[in-house]
Amino acid sequence: MGGVEGCPETPDLQDTTLTCEAVDASEFGLQLVTGVPFPPHTRLSLRLDFGGELFRLDAIVRWLKGNNVGLLLDDMSQDIDAWVRCSFLMRTIS
C-alpha cells in the first residue's frame, strides 16, 4: 500500500506502512480493507500494483466502516493520469 503521511487525530499512525486489499476502485476513489482504523482526513501515500503496473498515488481518507476505508485520490498525485486511463479501461472491459 504505502504509508501514512498525516493523521492529526491519531499521531501514532504517522509513518505507518502496511499492506491492504483494494476492493473497489474508480478514477478518483478507492475502497480498501485494512486492519488499521484510519480516521477520516488521514493522508496516505499509496503504491498500488495493478496488473503488474505500479501507481504512486496520494489520497485522503473520507470514511471508515469497520475494516473498510474510502479514499479520495489526490488529482495532483504523481501517477494520477496513468491511473485514470487504467480505471477507464477497467470500466470499458467489464
Contact between 38 and 69 (Cβ < 8 Å): yes
Which tens digit of pLDDT belongs to each residue from 30-79?
999 988 888 889 888 888 887 788 899 999 999 999 989 999 999 999 99
Structural domain boundaries in the chain: 2-93
Q: β-strands 53-65, 17-18: how paired?
A: unpaired
CATH of domain 2-93: 2.40.10
Query: What is the number of other CB atoms lying within 10 angstroms of the CB of residue 20?
Result: 18
What's the rounded mean pLDDT across residues 23-28?
86
